[in-house]
Chain A
Amino acid sequence: MESDIVENSEIDKDTVSPEDLETLFSKKYKLLAETAVTLKKTYINKLSVSKSLNIAVQLLDNSIEVYRLDKSSLSKVCRLSGHTKTLTELVFSNKEEHLLYSAGHDGVKLWDIRTSGLCVQEYKDEQPSHPRSYECMDVSCSGRVICAGTETVQNDAYMVFWDQRKPEPLGGYWNSHTEDITQVKFHKDKSETLASGSIDGIINIYNIEEPTEDEALIFSLNVDHAVEKITWLNENQLSCATQSNVLQIWDSSSADKLQHYDREKISRSIKRSRADDCYVVDAFTDADGRVVVLAGSAGGEGHALRSLALAGKKLQPATLFAENKQLVRCCAYDKQRDVLVTTGESGLVNVWGAPGADKEALPKQLGKSVRLHEQRHRPY
């Protein structure tokens, strides 16, 4: 006979002592800068960081704020308002760093963050009166092609393409996914290679230079879990974080699943006791060439944020972000400077770097920076 359905009321905690944590998580990062975007509690769910370390974040009122990192403080560059519906993605152009793209349930826009931040382009759908609800977008490494993925509408999920110079779409794909498309990610060096991920549990790899969708689809990778984040790690590998907090690594040239790390393993590896509090943010390749996964725990105070280095089937402790104070939703890593930016559910923007980085790695102050509000380190 089946037993009662019980609640696990154990509090999530570290499984090793603080001293052991210090020893195990040996790659040290410290908090270089922090800012709160508003005084009220808010979530920052979307983030993009440009090559020059401009940080764009989405606010819950669907506006965008851009910050610049000067030494150890974050100053606001501009505020971009224009989306009237949910904002779903922010992407800085790789080529022209003052250009920021945004996607939302009311279309795709392009902003110039210089001067006071203008919307310089609105990308149209084939039927401009019915803009699609975009869930994600990306820009190719050449800076020329934009792709945005939609929610399902009557069983169709679309990927729409534009040439960034023109508002009319180039075309689209609508046969390769059956549920909301949650991620579209261009390869970092090959502007014709694109990966898409969806709630249907599939990642598709395309060569968009082929004339039709059928010919463009190269591989379909069955992740078997709803896709949350896709990141290209290097030439032939991509990582997939799922909505069930699983991490997979795939080879995009052979369609092989290289690794699968389940939630229990990730939780054990970050040295926390409750696997069902563990969440995965994203993976990236760090300055040392290692693939690193950023994960945390929503349990206890909800502040545990740690990274693990992938070593075959093993996950080795990498960094303990001790000064973290929020549940982190996104991150962006700058490989050149070895700097990580995180944002999350307490509305904080955090910049992390190796100790000593603040002297060398960060952009020098360019002229006068406009401080629109006092820096607050304790927002509420």
Chain B
Amino acid sequence: MSSKVSRETLYECVNAVLQFAKDKKRNFLETVELQIALKNYDTQKDKRFAGSIRLKYVTRPNMQVCVLGDQQHCDEAKVLNVPCMDAEALKKLNKNKKMVKKLAKKYDAFLASESLIKQIPRLLGPGLNKAGKFPSPLSHQESMSQKIDEVKATVKFQMKKVLCLSVAVGNVDMAADELAQNVHLSVNFLVSLLKKHWQNVRSLHIKSTMGPSQRLY
């Protein structure tokens, strides 16, 4: 086992990013991004990949999640003060494209009871698909608040034609420890998807939206 990014470097970079954001406060919550530059990789012939990572700490605390629920889930949602809609409320939209679009815009993500999720295309048409917000399933075996936190801690990544992967790993209001853990998790996960693992990594940087990059590797 060889060390690729020492604990010292990791914290130095994380602290530098957080400090810069504190010194120059913006009027929005800056995201912290991990950037991986790849090498020994040919996007034409090597497998391209994209997906999502479930991080340990919530990256978008202000994310608005709506539950499309059966009776039980809607009751639970009301207790938790989580916006919800039941099958009746969805039927009322009458598959009206504008209204579905409006619903999709109002929330960042949706969770749906397993029974309801199957009816979404019938009830709403492809509107949620079109917005990239098709719901994640919600079962009765899991805690709703935990599931919502999971959604808020899940980030997407994509590698298209350029040899660079970029992932949101947190925000500038997070504690250094939390950000460091999210970075650590993301790096390990992304490296696990690369065929030659660390031999495919040219460099690693983290940066806040408005701040300079800090080189991790």
Contacts and interface: CB of A to CB of B under 8 A. Distances in A.
Interface of A: 1-9, 43, 45, 60, 86, 175-179, 199-202, 204, 213-214, 217-220, 222, 224-226, 228, 242-245, 254-255, 257, 275-276, 298, 327, 329, 345
Given A2-B10, A218-B121, 14 more contacts: A5-B184, A5-B217, A6-B1, A86-B44, A178-B129, A179-B158, A199-B158, A200-B134, A202-B134, A217-B121, A220-B126, A225-B51, A226-B49, A276-B193
For B130, B131, B177, which residue has the most chain A Cβ atoms within 10 angstroms?
A: B130
A224 B136 CA distance: 8
Contacts, number: 129
B3 A244 contact: no
Contact of A244 (B51, B117, B177, B181): B51
B51 A213 contact: no
Interface string B112-125: 00000110110001
Contact of A5 (B5, B118, B121, B135): B5
A8 B50 contact: no
Main secondary structure of the interface of B (DSSP, over half): mixed
B195 A298 contact: yes
Contact of B126 (A214, A298, A329): A214
A7 B129 contact: no
B126 A4 contact: no
B212 interface: no
Contacts of A220: 120-121, 126, 129, 134
Contacts of A3: 7, 184
A178 B130 contact: yes
24 contacts: A2-B180, A4-B5, A6-B2, A60-B45, A175-B127, A178-B129, A178-B132, A179-B132, A199-B158, A202-B129, A214-B126, A218-B121, A219-B121, A220-B120, A222-B137, A224-B52, A224-B136, A225-B51, A226-B50, A242-B51, A243-B48, A255-B118, A276-B192, A329-B47
Contacts of B197: 7-8, 276
Main secondary structure of the interface of A (DSSP, over half): loop
B64 interface: no
B188 interface: yes
Contacts of B49: 226, 243-244
A41 to B, nearest CB: 10
A172 to B, nearest CB: 13
B51 A175 contact: no
B4 interface: yes
B46 to A, nearest CB: 8
A168 to B, nearest CB: 25
Contacts of A178: 129-132
Interface in B7-28: 7, 10-11
A174 B45 CA distance: 27
Contacts of B188: 5
Contacts of B191: 7, 276
B2 A7 contact: yes
B187 interface: yes
A228 B187 CA distance: 22
A13 to B, nearest CB: 16
A2 B11 contact: yes
A276 B188 CA distance: 10
